[in-house]
Amino acid sequence: MKAVLRRNLRTENRRMRKFFRVGITYHLSLITCLLAVVSEGSVKVVDIDNQASSGTLLRLDAEKVVLSSATETLEFPPERILKLQTEATSEQPGSSILLHVAHLRDGSRVVASDLSLSSQTIHLTRIGGAKLSLKLDLLEGIRFSIPSGEIAGEIPENIQKIQRTRSAEDRLLITAGDALDYYGGIINEIGPETVQFELDGEVLAIPRRRIVALLFHQNDSSAPTLPLCRFTERDGTSWELIDLTYNREQQHFRWKTAVGIEGITSFSDWVAADFTKTNTVPLFQLTPVSVQWTPAILWTDQREQEPFLLWQQFTKSRFEHSETASDNEEAPVFLPDSATGRLRRPDQFPLRTLQGIQLDGKVYQNGVTLSAKTVLEFSFTDDYQTLRGLAGIDDRIRPGGRVKLSFLSGSTTLYETTIRGDHPSVPLNLNMNGVKKLTIIVDFTGGIDDGTRLNLVEMLLVK
């Protein structure tokens, strides 16, 4: 394995030296110059009712957010806010500028123009030249040479798959043609041109140009504290904060992250504070107490309606659907036990998702796909005010497809509609006051199963 790795990397050593020396000062100056002038304290608040309010930010702390508009002073408790953001706009730097992202184990990420690792400490040079040093045990991984236009995107799925696989070693991910290879070993040092990587007892100098990402071994530890908000800066850096205050006189924010990092960000370097994770709960992050799925049963003559033959037909149909689901990502998500209607094994949680759902021309990376007839039951201990989301037939199936969607609380129908492939997707906004048990039913229309899959995306319970 070492010989293959050496052979693949040898031809890159010479070209790599030139690559990292070209134009970095110019690119950093360009990014700095493109930041817009920010109106003093001008912000917009989106509350949990999806109502937007604008004004000058007077105060932000654990107790309240206060805005002054042209006509009044507005106050919001943090638990009533989904998002707080600046109203200033800025021209974004060209997407060809390459940057690095350090991912912290609390979910924060730091964008850097350059970085190095020595003595178990990562040293980051941020856009504009500011320096930041972090202990290695705070890091989950590093991604290299990402176009600035892709910084805000999710970690690519091929990296996430490797990331989810637990390992006692550090891992180095490199390009191999159009694919991605990774090696387990020890990351000793990150220099300006190479990474010193110990593989099978031998230290290899790997050109940084070939490296897609580094994933660091994580010791088992307690989960980080639930953050107050995600705080995003103009260069794409975002912090998962447990404390945030605003100093109006000095025009800056003072903050502390879930892993204990403290800092100050000027108002002009700030973009948004997102409280969604604190004040909402993704519905399908919760485990349903019951899942039932009943496929359609079709017969061609009266003889097959006899009870014994009908049962055989039902069993055959259920088996065929179950077999399909094991290999087909677009098959029914849930495979219940025939006797209890509950999921067969705890390891089937969290609920499996369909990647890349496409509704009305927009791609949603995560959502659930259900087929008729599916019945989901959720039981809540917390109080929620609203359930929001979007329901529709995937663009790649349209204009075909039709299912009946119902939401019930006990015997009370909260909402019911028919979702059609020849109609736009349907926004959902259900009143959840007093609801402790929620039943979602995806049913056939007219008793016909045409293979339709209903997509539910962005399903959020608002506290």
Residue listed under structure tokens 């191999």: 176
Residue 218, pLDDT score = 78
State both tokens at 452.
């339709």
Whole-angstrom distance, CA of residue 435 vs CA of residue 410? 9
Domain residue ranges in the chain: 2-32+92-215, 39-87+222-274, 282-462
State both tokens at 102.
């350090």
Mean pLDDT in order along the chain per 10 residues (463 residues): 54 42 38 41 87 92 90 89 84 71 93 94 93 93 90 83 86 85 93 93 91 87 75 94 94 93 95 88 85 64 46 42 38 39 36 63 79 88 88 84 90 91 90 92 76 83 86
What is the pTM (predicted TM-score) of this model? 0.67
3-class secondary structure, 426: strand
Q: At 265, which amino acid appears?
A: T
Residue 316, pLDDT score = 44
3-class secondary structure, 436: coil
Whole-angstrom distance, CA of residue 285 vs CA of residue 351? 7
Q: Are 332 and 326 in contact (CB under 8 A)?
A: no
Peptide linkage before 399 cis (omega within 30 of 0): yes
Residue 132, pLDDT score = 95
Residue 70, pLDDT score = 83
Sign (positive or negative) of CA dihedral 259, 263, 267, 271 = negative
Peptide linkage before 316 cis (omega within 30 of 0): no
Residue 71, pLDDT score = 86
CA angle centred on 148, ends 280 and 154, rounded to 5°: 35
Whole-angstrom distance, CA of residue 13 vs CA of residue 6? 11
Q: Which of 459, 230, 460, 458 is nearest to 364 (CA)?
A: 458
Sign (positive or negative) of CA dihedral 164, 167, 171, 176 = negative
State both tokens at 248.
């109006």
Q: Does the domain made of 282-462 have the CATH classification 2.60.120.1060?
A: yes
Residue 297, pLDDT score = 55
